[in-house]
Structure 1
Amino acid sequence: MSITVSSALSPDVFDSYLTLVGDGDERGAVDLAISLLDAGVPAQRIIVDLIGGTQARVGELWASNEWGVAREHSATAVSERVLAAVASRTDVPGGRGRLTLACVDGEWHGLPARMLAELLRLDGWRVDFLGASVPGRHLITHLHQTGPDAVALSCMIPTRLPRAHAAITACRAAGVPVIAGGRGFGPAGKYAEQLGADAWAATGEQAVARLASDWPPSFVADDPGTFLGDEEYTHMVRSRPQLIATAMDRLPVVFPGAHHYDQAQIDATAEDLGHIADFLAAALYVADDQIFVEFVRWTAEVLRTRGVPVSALRVGLRLIRDQLVDFPAALRMIDGGVAAIGG
């Protein structure tokens, strides 16, 4: 997938910036961004097109196994510093109001939210950016202390939807409307509305436009939102440690090669089983099979790029499925995931 090139930025600029962040060259990346700013490129275009577009490419390079985790993390850290440098060079008077921006509890992808914070600041908002993985109780305490006009919540991974729901419900109970954003809220933000958010935006620029032209929304402070989660979801959450432990105990029986796993392979397998359990729980929470099916399909592709046979994923799915024979929705979701990857 290619980066969408702004009319203000040439492909060479994107290539240079990707090389710099890939090499961990913070100084070079900052100098490049500041030179664009000095040349008259709007800060918004640097944030959205250069930093955001390159970050998307970094994710693709990790998924295709061209970059390792350490290099991806290093590149992200450099872009965070570049964003800070660009922000320090821009001074926009406030006036629109005050807004609290946070990543939901357990959501550690902070850069997209930080980019939104700067876009909102450039549009005249006073923004309290609380950072990644903000526990709900601390978020609500902050709202009572500061009295913002709105809360913006970021959720990039569907496994955080139950915590996002808790945060949205608490914010609304405190009388503060919520605008949600991030891939975790599903295609077209379908889960944002289901979880009780007042609005959703697909991109940072859409959030800025929504808050500037169509806010506040109609709002009922005592509306708790839809109750989600049923017996199957509750069982998945409560039994997660046992599901993983049992699957690991049974693994050598159905996959003899596991007898020779070293500790790193054992830890990685347990982590992968945890992801299966977490995505299954999220799908059960909002009653949408597609969350789990898409996770399985994506995981299979990532494994292929790393030379891991898809049969290993099927084994993991089977080990979890065998423990959920009394839960029809979970079985249906797992079977849908298996069908999506074949076999």
Structure 2
Amino acid sequence: MSTRTTDLDAGAGGPGATARRTTLLGDVRTARWADRLWTAVQAGDEYSALDLIDNALDDGLEPEAVLLDVVGAVQRRVGTEWAANRMSVAGEHVATAINDRVISSLPIRRPAAPRGRIAVACVDQEWHALPARLLAETLRLRGWHVDYLGAQVPTPHLIGHIHRTGPDAVCLSSSLPTRLPLAHGAITAVQAVGTSVMTGGLAFGADGRYARLLGADAWAPDARTAADRLAAGPLPRPSPAHQTIDDLPHLGDQEYTMVAGSSARLVRDTFHRLEQRYPTMKGYDDEQRERTAEDIAHIVDFLTAALYVDASEIFTEFLTWTADVLTARGVPARSLVPGLDLLEEQLRDFPRARALIGTGRDVLTDSPRPRHAG
């Protein structure tokens, strides 16, 4: 009898199967609403977007599901479509603004007794604010008092806010690995005043490896997991003896400091050397020249970030992503290689930097480019 019950529970019947069917139906339903919201944001139709969210709530969809499984899913699609050259920068901005307006329209009730107080902020120079906004609103829905500080919060201002309000924890968000040095400083500064830090966002790695490396007290891969973790109990208290330099002993070679300090010169000199060695650049218009300089600057930024955490994948994943973006726009991925060669020439005295560049060049020249979905 017990065997039959186990079989039913794991197979076509039983409470386990019922839960799975319920989850599957919920996934299908939220996917349909996400498709409808996607149609609205593509058209730049804010009014339709707001109407359909009202309809989704009337249909019984929970506000948290609207936030994370509808709005969040659409915003991820916005990024994918832009990278594949199927959405312009202007279209991306319009879609993000509509999603932000939709979030503001969701009903949030004031809790009778808040669970506690959480500060949610983006790391200094991090302008991708929507992931942090989704977390802030999820926590509000779950009964927390939330101070949402928004994008690009300078660390001294964050610390001032902590002194004034005394939150139970700070949630720091960053999407770009180039912000990891600033994130490290923010984590350490917040911990120095006795407040625990949870980090989240793509910058910290899909598995949170850079959050752990930089000494964060907790990490979460998404807003729902972060809210669950905060509900489970207080975060670990930071050690009062924690020092930033203790986390990253490899910084003792000074490569990061010296390369980061000369980044403007590296970008300028690499651009000028490209002009000298590749006469076709003389025919570039102003926009092409500006884009080329931006690409070089991004390469240098990601190189310095990889040096900071001593992780080649930060550099190679950026190059792979950039190559995909260029390929989608009809520019060969190999066009990045000359810039890498010129950077390597200028960094001959920096073995870690040269090794990173060599690995990046190998990725660009040896790996086949994946095709984008049509």
**For this structure pair, what is the TM-score category when the shorter chain's length is used for normalisation?**
over 0.9
Alignment match, 1:290: 313
The match for 1:62 is 82
Match of 1:26 in 2: 46
Q: Does 1:75 align with 2:95?
A: yes
Which position in structure 2 is the counterpart of 1:91?
Answer: 109
Residues 48-95 of structure 1, C-alpha deviations (whole Å, 9 max, x = no match): 110001111111100110111110111011000000001xx2315142
Please report how far the alpha carbon of residue 132 of structure 1 lies from its aligned counterpart in structure 2 after TM superposition. 0.2
Distance 1:165 1:249 in 2: 33
Q: CA deviation at 1:257?
A: 1.1
Name 1:305's counterpart in structure 2: 328
The SS at the match of 1:99 is strand
Shift of 1:315: 1.4
CA drift of 1:38 comes to 2.3
Kindly state the Cα deviation for residue 7 of structure 1 after the two structures are TM-superposed: 3.2
Deviation at 1:187, TM superposition (A): 2.7
Distance 1:221 1:128 in 2: 25
Distance in 2 (CA, whole Å) between partners of 1:7 and 1:303 is 34
- Residue 221 of structure 1 deviates from its aligned partner by 2.9
Q: Is the 8 A contact 2:196 2:217 kept in 1?
A: yes
Contact 1:103–1:153 under 8 Å retained in 2: yes
* Paired position in structure 2 for 1:131: 150
Across the two proteins, how many residue pairs are aligned to each other? 338
Please tell me whether the aligned partners of residues 195 and 237 of structure 2 are also in contact (alpha carbons under 8 angstroms): no
Check the 8 A contact 1:172/1:224 in 2, yes or no.
Answer: no
Q: Of 160, 178, 198, which residue of structure 1 is paired with 2:197?
A: 178
Q: Please state whether the residue corresponding to 1:133 is helix, strand or coil.
A: strand
Give the Cα–Cα distance (whole angstroms) in 1 for the partners of residues 247 and 239 of structure 2.
Answer: 16
Offset from partner CA, 1:126-174 (integer Å, 9 cap, x none): 0000000000010000000111110000011100000000000000001
Note the C-alpha offset of 1:25. 0.9
Give the secondary-structure state (helix, strand or coil) at the position aligned to 2:236: coil
Distance, in Å, in 2 between the alignment partners of 1:199 and 1:287 is: 21
User: Deviation of residue 193 (structure 1)?
Assistant: 1.2
1:273 aligns with 2:292: no
8 A contact 1:92–1:123 mirrored in 2: no
Counterpart for residue 255 of structure 1 = 278
- Residue in 2 aligned with 1:339? 362
Q: Could you tell me which runs of 5 or more consecutive residues in structure 2 were left unpaired when the two chains were aligned.
A: 1-23, 367-374
**Any residues of structure 2 matched to 1:127-276 within 5 Å, and which?**
127-225=146-244, 226-228=246-248, 229=251, 230-276=253-299
CA distance in structure 2 between the partners assigned to 1:334 and 1:82 by the alignment = 43
Normalised to the residue count of structure 1, the TM-score between the two structures is 0.95
- Separation in 2, partners of 1:244, 1:29: 42
Cα distance, 1:15 vs structure 2? 2.2
Give the Cα separation in 1 of the matches to 2:30 and 2:117: 35
Aligned residue in 2 for 1:53: 73
CA distance in 2, matches of 1:48, 1:80: 13
Contact 1:6–1:45 under 8 Å retained in 2: no
Q: Deviations over 1:191-223 (max 9, x none)?
A: 111111100000100000100104231432332
SS where residue 87 of structure 2 aligns? coil
Equivalent residue, structure 1, for 2:29: 9
Alpha-carbon shift at residue 16 of structure 1 (Å) = 1.7
In the aligned structure 2, how far is the partner of 1:283 from the partner of 1:139? 26
Q: What is the CA distance between 1:10 and its match in structure 2? A: 5.2
1:264-316 superposed Cα distances (whole Å, 9 cap, x missing partner): 11111111101000000000001111110111111111110010012211112
Larger Rg: 2
Find the aligned partners of 2:290 and 2:41 in 1 and give their Cα distance: 30
Q: Kindly indicate whether the alpha-carbon contact (under 8 Å) linking 2:30 and 2:65 is maintained by their aligned counterparts in 1.
A: no
Aligned counterparts of 1:5 and 1:256: Cα–Cα separation in 2: 59
Give the SS at the match of 1:120. Answer: helix
Is contact 1:176–1:221 with CA below 8 Å preserved after alignment? no
Q: TM-score, normalised by structure 2?
A: 0.87
Shift of 1:332: 0.6
1: distance between equivalents of 2:55 and 2:117?
31
Q: Which residue of 1 aligns with 2:14?
A: none
Q: How does 1:34-49 map to 2 (within 5 A)?
A: 34-49=54-69
| % identical aligned pairs | 47
Aligned partner letter, 2:170: V
Equivalent pair of 2:71/2:99 in contact (CA under 8 Å): yes
